Amino acid sequence: MHILPYAPPEGMADSGGDVYGVGRILVEMLLGELPDGPPPPIPRRPSGEGRRLRAALQVAARAVHPESGQRYESAEDMAVDLEAAAARSGSRRAP
């Protein structure tokens, strides 16, 4: 596996690089491809699927923000927002 597309622009100096990498993987999973820049905006759709996709991409967009100071400070912070996005969008955890 080639790791450069998952490394932050400033390099892997700290654990923030891990959050960036997870964000890039999340973008790739949600879109089916890895765009060169930030994730593209998702058109508004009335379906639950569209809401879940938008909510998850908002979290991913923050994780891969071009400015490191605007990204999540920890994976825990990112996980909290993913859980909140799932709750807002009406998705449910598997039992």
Per-residue pLDDT of the chain (95 residues; tens, 9 = 90+): 446 777 777 766 665 678 888 888 888 888 888 777 666 666 665 566 677 788 888 999 999 888 889 999 999 999 999 998 888 755 555 44
**pLDDT score for 38:** 67
Neighbours of 85 (CB within 10 A): 19
> What pLDDT, on a 0 to 100 scale, did the predictor assign at position 77?
95
Listed in sequence order, the DSSP H helices in 1-95 are 16-31, 48-63, 75-88
Q: What is the pLDDT of residue 95?
A: 40
**Token digits for 42?**
């998702």
